Amino acid sequence: MRKEQEVRFLKLLTVILFAGAFITALAILPAGVCFDGAESYTFFCGDGSKNCRVVTTNGNAALKKLTLRNVCGESAEYRDFDLDGYLELVDGEIVFVEELSDSVNYYCKANLPYSVTLYGEQINLHVCVKADSVKIASPIIFGGY
């Protein structure tokens, strides 16, 4: 009888320890991705643009993010994108607009995890609208687009 109680106690202790480890893992894992439903997704890894490593995925971006270290930004590409709707979703506002020959760039403040100082303003959402696609990033789009 005593042996059965010890085995039962060890099983219960094991279940409790695994549950605690699972809850701890959920608490320390990074949050989900900034943008949903993208055709392609890019992560910027490093401690700034100087040593930025770019990782692009066409699959499950949230799962890919779990395998990366030092993520300092995210970017997504869409064919269609509702800027006003997204700004409302992330409590965002346009700070300034830059019009180029082939695109319009919106630099915004929003409730997103990454930010940079650009022209004296905290920017954490960059939206580049072209004729056939839209690329969005937090904090900004790194590299040419």
The boundaries of the domain holding residue 51 are 33-138
Give residue 145's pLDDT band: very low, low, confident or very high (50, 70, 90): very low
Cβ–Cβ < 8 Å for 122, 138 = no
pLDDT tens track for 80-126:
889 999 999 999 999 999 999 999 999 999 999 899 998 999 999 99
Q: Model pTM?
A: 0.74
Q: Looking at the structure, tell me whether residues 24 and 85 fall in a common domain.
A: no
Please check whether residue 24 lies inside any domain of the structure. Answer: yes
Q: Does residue 142 carry a pLDDT above 70?
A: yes
What is d(CA 31, CA 62) in angstroms, rounded to the nearest whole number? 9
Please check whether residue 143 lies inside any domain of the structure. Answer: no
Q: Looking at the structure, tell me whether residues 118 and 63 fall in a common domain.
A: yes
